[in-house]
Amino acid sequence: MLWTANRIIRKFSTSSTYYQNKLKLALIGQSLFGQEVYTNLRQQGHKVVGVFTVPDKDGKADPLAVAAEKDGTPVFKFPRWRVKGKPIPEVVEAYKAVGAELNVMPFCSQFIPMNVIDHPKHGSIIYHPSLLPKHRGASAINWTLIEGDKKAGFSIFWADDGLDTGPILLQRECAVEPNDTVDTLYNRFLFPEGIKAMVESVQLIADGKAPKIPQPEEGASYEGIQKKSNAKANMGQPAEAIHNWIRGHDKVPGAWAVIDGQVVTLYGSSLLSGSAPSGQPVEVEGASQPGLITNSGLVLFGTDGKALQVKNLQFEDGKMIPAAKYFSSGESASVELTEEERKMAEEIRGIWKGILSNVPAIEETTDFFKSGAASMDVVRLVEEIKQKCGGVELQNEDVYMATTFQDFIQMFVRRLRGEDQEEELVIDYATKDVNNMSLKMPYQCFVNGRFEDAENGKTYDTVNPTDGSVICKVAYASVADVDRAVSAAKEAFENGPWGKMNPRDRGRLLYNLADLMEQHQEELATIEAIDSGAVYTLALKTHVGMSIQTFRYFAGWCDKIQGTTIPINQARPNRNLTFTKKEPLGVCAIVIPWNYPLMMLAWKSAACLAAGNTLVLKPAQVTPLTALKFAELTVKAGIPKGVINILPGSGGLVGQRLSDHPDIRKLGFTGSTPIGKQIMKSCAVSNLKKVSLELGGKSPLIIFSDCDMDKAVRMGMSSVFFNKGENCIAAGRLFVEESIHDEYISRVVAEIKKMKIGDPIDRSTDHGPQNHKAHLDKLVEYCEIGVKEGATLVYGGRQVDRPGYFMEPTVFTNVEDHMFIAKEESFGPIMVVSKFKDGDVDGVLSRANDTEFGLASGVFTRDINKAMYVSERLEAGTVFVNTYNKTDVAAPFGGFKQSGFGKDLGEEALHEYLRTKAVTVEY
């Protein structure tokens, strides 16, 4: 403890020394980036003596100005610093008056005079989004993509006369992913890391440690901003070059091609892997072969025979459509409006007029964007219409697809009538013949009722642990996909039918879903077996069987969620009625582990949905397939779109964004304790969202000499080896009374030798492969540590000599309390056994409770008094007496201490997804 304290003190002292030098700064720039740099510099103790930014636009101040004005920092909004190349004297004098020691230019679109650049004691530093000297100029990110650079990055350099040729102070770089766009590069790296680097650079200057590295001329390039006329895509190139050109021009100015004789702008490009899907051919000028209009978009082919896919198309009149609807874009007949719809149309005309105040009148042909509207106006239009016309599902993208007033009203009325909602579910399956059936497995993100590729087009391999083979490629969701999914879930909760649905009807849909899961139980169990390594028979009974039971149980709760009436002191002569209401929270996030992929989904999402919430769920990266098959079944069950959204991918990316997202009101997580702590912290910092955590365990199992030995052996083995040890409540340490210890171990080893290790699809298999390679390697290392510490390895401890990720069932004895394997969870088929003295009940209880975990526990004894005494004193959320692993959908499940808090299953799980409102009425 003393060492830890000293380490913290040393770290604190080092930090305070590093930051002791502070500067007076002038910030010259704009945008959210400028605002974040400003805020972070102030937090580090630097004094910002003046902010110089752009004038307000349409009455709205720049974000940098807003932050500075709120803090009382002097703000100057000069429209320009020079006229005809010469500095404006009064502007320069106003700047000099603040007395800055350093100019910081995080994002500056204005030309700053050199007598301002050079004026401060330390000069000026500026941020540029490229690895200078390459890509000088305003289109640096675009050209990074257009030229197919494998690395992107930014430079912070000492400002010069505006040609980006000044000495380098600091540079950072990142890899460019195949389907990166300007937005993804900026959001993933250039924005967050750029802010940190600007702050670091200022501190280096303050400490006198900032370098000035001259830029070489070798490799220098300058490319001007592309004009629309120069943005035509050359189709006579390899697919990757065409893709780079399109993504480098997205969104401005937009790469274009001539398709069927008309100019069409291309947006949302991604490279295709494998063979192109079938589609309807379309003529593309200059292409080596015709393009294809498919269910997912426009497929274009390069001269190398490889393909790319374009998501959206925009025509010369400004109208944008999904590329998949190219051939149907002009086929919709006009709908005749009812009197009520005409009134709504006039209200919408008023909204348009309020936004387009510069337009004398909103005509049928008035174009929203050609009249001067910007992206913020799109948000305003959508939100104002939602306020006036609740229940209409409208997205920002809809405005881009219907830019004239008449087209917008037609789209709106169709949406109002629900004519656009009944779309056939399109699924691109991965197929595999296994277990005497042909599996059809969705592999894309499931957002707003549709299966779609990740926005950045990225995928990853999901692997069969039985032999290490790739099952299929799965979409690798991005932060943008999380935001889309949360937006869909929020819309479904606030304006969709789910939020207005009678609870009994909601229960009916969940019953439908359970029935469909039962109809597909063999298919689900087979997918679970090949994706997670679960033995098929266990997957059928537990992984899938309990999932079906869970949905049926909570379907029955939907119309039984009740508040209470509360007698209170009356305010005479009036009387009062006080009652409580149980209400859903809103959008909930669920993050589940890889050991029971479908069952963990069911345990959390069934309660969440029964309570009336909508959800965004992230399955474990290594086991996404049953969750995506489940998503398909939810559509067939009639669950409205947006209610359930499923995003496969990285926990560090998707899980973190779910923790941080301001529109999520609850996050349920099952996983490790360290990750649970990080999630809890992020949830608190973001918006104080509600959290429930089911975390790590080191569950003790105490076996007394008066036990039923046959049962204790059988159940003790199950407590460790069930689901090949990948079980959150697995008995992490067995305490066996000394007088029966040797017999117990002998009988356990004899039974282990009878276990069949092999293919989980084989009905006679007892023990399948571990979930993934990294976990198997950890288990082998765990055993090596146990041997080194002096524990006795009685059986196993090695990887099985066969293809796949198989671990031998393992037994350690003579495990002492201080050992690593006595304290840390293995999460695998490793039995850790310690003996205790005969009759020492309190002693073994003390040892069993000497852990920071408290998920489950167990005791075997025929003495009911002893059993009750021990169960009362074991510090765990679940205590098993003369049994183990006996969970039921009606019994609450959750841990104590660092095993987390909150409950899954049972009535208590509902309360995790509800809030209580008290209402008092005077009468």
Which residues are marked as active site? Answer: 128, 694, 728
**How deeply is 818 buried, as exposed, middle or buried, from its count of CB atoms within 10 A (0-12, 13-18, 19+)?**
exposed
> Is 671 labelled a binding residue?
yes
Cα distance between residue 75 and residue 382, in whole Å: 33
Residue 703: what residue type?
Answer: I
Read off the DSSP letter of residue 222. Answer: B
On whether 110 is known to bind a ligand per the annotation, the reply is yes
* 593 carries a ligand binding annotation: yes
Is 820 annotated as belonging to a binding site?
Answer: no
507 annotated to a ligand binding site: no
846 is in an annotated binding site: no
What is the spatial distance between Cα 186 and Cα 36, in angstroms, rounded to a whole number?
Answer: 14
| Beta strand spans in 797-871 (E) | 810-813, 830-836, 853-854, 856-860
- Residue 102: enclosing H or E segment and its boundaries? strand 102-105
Burial class of 15 by CB neighbour count within 10 A (0 to 12, 13 to 18, 19+): exposed
What is the distance between the terminal CA atoms of the chain, rounded to a whole angstrom? 61
**Is 764 a known ligand-binding residue?**
no
Spatial distance between the Cα atoms of 675 and 687, rounded to a whole number of angstroms? 18
What's the 3-state SS for 375-443?
HHHHHHHHHHHHHHCCCCCCCHHHHHHCCEHHHHHHHHHHHHHCCCCCCCCCCCEEEEEECCEEEEEEC
Annotated ligand binding at 592? The verdict is yes
- CA-angle at 583, arms to 582 and 588, nearest 5°: 130
Q: Is 838 part of any known ligand binding site?
A: no
- The span from the CA of 800 to the CA of 176, in Å, is 40
Which residues have CB under 8 Å from 688's CB, separation 6+? Answer: none
Q: Is 786 annotated as a binding residue?
A: no
Is 112 known as a binding-site position? Answer: yes
Question: In this structure, are strands 856-860 and 699-703 parallel, antiparallel, or unpaired?
Answer: parallel
Shortest CA distance to 453 belongs to which of 203, 628, 640?
A: 628
Distance of CA 653 to the CA centre of its chain: 6
Q: What single letter denotes the amino acid at residue 139?
A: S
Q: Is 901 annotated as a binding residue?
A: no
Cα–Cα distance list, 546 to 8, 603, 629, 639, 641 (Å): 47, 9, 17, 21, 25
* Residue 269 marked in a binding site: no
The answer to whether residues 894 and 877 touch, using CB atoms and an 8 Å cutoff, is yes
State the burial class of residue 594 (Cβ atoms within 10 Å of its Cβ: 0-12, 13-18, 19+): buried
Asked if residue 35 belongs to a known ligand binding site, the reply is: no
Following CA atoms 454, 670, 893, 901 in sequence, which dihedral angle do they give, to the nearest 10 degrees? -120
| CA–CA distance, 548 with 551 (Å, rounded to integer) | 5
Q: How many residues does the chain have?
A: 923
Residue 492 to residue 447: CA distance in whole angstroms: 12
Phi and psi at 899, nearest 5°, equal -90, 5
Residue 111 is labelled as binding a ligand: yes
- Partnered with residue 152 across adjacent β-strands are 174
672 known ligand binder: yes
Provide the strand spans (E) within 219-272.
255-259, 262-271
Q: Is residue 547 marked as binding?
A: no
Spatial neighbors of 561 by CB under 8 A, at least 6 apart, are 503, 582, 610, 611, 910, 914
Handedness of CA 791, 793, 797, 801 (dihedral sign): positive
Residue type, 586: G
Can you point out the beta strands (E) in 449-598?
Answer: 450-452, 459-464, 469-475, 565-566, 576-584, 587-591
- 652 among annotated binding-site residues: yes
Any known ligand binding at 653?
yes
Residue 857 annotated as binding site: no
To the question of whether residue 642 is assigned a binding role by annotation, the answer is no
In the chain, the amino acid numbered 77 is K
Residue 10: half-sphere exposure toward Cβ, Cα within 13 Å: 6
Burial class for 39, CB neighbours closer than 10 Å (0-12, 13-18, 19+): middle
Known binding residues are 110-112, 164, 592-594, 618-621, 651-656, 671-672, 778, 825-827
Annotated binding site for (6R)-10-formyltetrahydrofolate: 110-112, 164
What residue numbers does the annotated binding site for NADP(+) cover? Answer: 592-594, 618-621, 651-656, 671-672, 778, 825-827
